[in-house]
Structure 1
């Protein structure tokens, strides 16, 4: 129970950190509350003479708050990013992603959360959710326990075989039955060790991947403690999730290689909004599956290709056929990008 509470606390902390990071990028400069100390005729931040409610030089409000109520308002805003533009952005991202992407590219941005701010917030919030569900902490290493049990079983079999040789014929049948049960357990333990990274049945990892190679060294490191390697991979994926953006942009460019209308910036905005939505979709599906609604979780994931189709069509003003074949191609490209990202993450986890 204590571990669950600890995971929940860490998850909420990550959510708060992520929201603060996204809020720092997205929020207006200066304070967010007009109550408290007044700045007089000059900006308290840079000293510029004030000509309105905001400083025209640095953007800070003329009035800065010094009350606990305003402080906790800022805290709530930082954690939840609670403002009108969020509620204008989310519905468009879910149902009209092409319109959202196109408007942001064309410069109509004041009403919406920027793609990078939304991406950061979704990544941190999703990681917090996985932590809260128990997926963010390293599990107890079962490899050492299985190996110890295997050694104990083998030693017991050896003792029973020695005892059997000196036993009477009637007693030998009982000992043979005990040995048979232990050998069955031994076989099961060897299978388990092979599955979780111990010595595999029927051979060793070195026979397939030599240890003197870089890949062999990584495999050996992961095999020593697979649970720790998985935890490191999860943490690295969370910290370096931004790498998905530069990895994915060239694949989108390949869909419009000779276009003079659509540039790298357009593709970057498209990719960032798309990845943010897909991460959120996976988080929602995971939550439904964790709650026992596996069918609902699968249905949620099936919305992904249709969302990609709508975003392509709306962003790049494509016809139905043009959006359809690009959606299919981009779906294949997406798996390639994910594979490249996973390779880098597991390389980092094994190093």
Structure 2
């Protein structure tokens, strides 16, 4: 059961990536160097009259060599035919123009939004691995019995203090002093109750199961939360690794999670379709991945956390504002209020995404 989410994520990742880098190939005789000597298209059989088949679009001159495999991989991932280098400057400086031109039908010069998203996500996690920004795997699991013993001793001390206060209360005849002692007793009672709740959450019930899910507002004792809590308690390092791995494999979920919020910003503007919003969101996420790459490299170079946060908090909203204003041809005020709403929506999207990752990590 634990491998199901990982398998689904891997399949999705592989399918999308394969689609992004897939190249057509044909079968025919080759010369000694592995070059096809075709006069007709190897895919559909149409007679060739140029560098590409005018019927199916397959390249006219193919290679059956090992170097061709490397060329296909590099070309497919990076689009080194020029698309990447034409896309990146616009994505960085004029993201709205890129979005609008792609929606309008200018596809041959630019990397598609999904291919760009996949490329940046793969690159981001590769850079994270290279610079050492990975989840720790050697997290020590706390000794719950030892913690429980400490709480038990603290609780016993509080009960002794309560007994002393009761003795003083019985002995005093000063009403003002008695009032202070009663207040102190109430405070001690609250501390005892808090420690008892903590002990119940840590030590569990009579069967040894944690009651943490009960203490966070789930009186029914959800079996799912119990299962999730037990997995985090037993092996937090593994759970953090699965959280990071799933965030990489299921990063594409950020697109459908974001679409409803962008659609709401333009619900009364019928000229903008769901496809337009999908292009906007996907290119925006691609840029954010590239920015995280740059920030991680700056952090590795020794730039302080304060400066990194300042850079992110400045560039990210500015980029979204420019993409909104240019991509949807908005006035300055229309772009600003939509930016403010979208920034709030981003926290909701990230919260939903994190909850999804926690759900996947429970199995």
TM norm. shorter chain > 0.5: yes
Q: Please name the residue that 2:94 is paired with.
A: 96
Q: 1:101·1:270 contact (CA, 8 Å) conserved in 2?
A: yes
Q: Which among 196, 212, 215 is matched to residue 208 of structure 1?
A: 215
Alignment CA distance shift 1:99-1:206 (3 Å):
closer
Distance 1:113 1:43 in 2: 26
Alignment CA distance shift 1:325-1:212 (3 Å):
same
Q: Please name the residue that 1:349 is paired with.
A: 361
SS at 1:64's partner residue?
coil
The higher relative CO (CA closer than 8 Å, separation ≥ 6) is in 2
The question of 1:300 aligning with 2:311 is answered yes
| Structure 1 residue ranges (4+ consecutive) displaced by more than 6 angstroms after TM superposition | 197-200
Distance 2:78 2:136 in 1: 28
Q: Which runs of 5+ in 2 are unaligned?
A: 1-12, 27-32, 151-197, 205-209
Alignment CA distance shift 1:50-1:126 (3 Å):
same
Q: Which among 130, 143, 150 is matched to residue 147 of structure 1?
A: 143
The count of aligned residue pairs is: 285
Distance 1:347 1:42 in 2: 53
The question of 1:270 aligning with 2:280 is answered yes
Q: Which runs of 5+ in 1 are unaligned?
A: 1-17, 155-193
TM-score (ref. length: structure 2)? 0.69
Distance 1:336 1:84 in 2: 37
TM-score (ref. length: structure 1)? 0.72
The question of 1:336 aligning with 2:334 is answered no
Q: CA RMSD in A?
A: 3.2
Give the drift of 1:93: 0.5
Give CA deviations for 1:4-53 in whole Å, capped at 9, x if unaligned.
xxxxxxxxxxxxxx89965842677569xxx9634433222332222222
Alignment CA distance shift 1:45-1:325 (3 Å):
same
Give the drift of 1:260: 1.2
Q: 2:247·2:357 contact (CA, 8 Å) conserved in 1?
A: yes
Alignment CA distance shift 1:312-1:27 (3 Å):
farther
Where does 1:1-351 land on structure 2 (aligned, <5 Å)? 24-25=19-20, 37-78=35-76, 80-136=78-134, 139-143=137-141, 146-147=142-143, 205=212, 208-209=215-216, 212-213=221-222, 214-294=224-304, 295-301=306-312, 302-351=314-363
Distance 2:18 2:245 in 1: 22
Give the drift of 1:242: 0.8
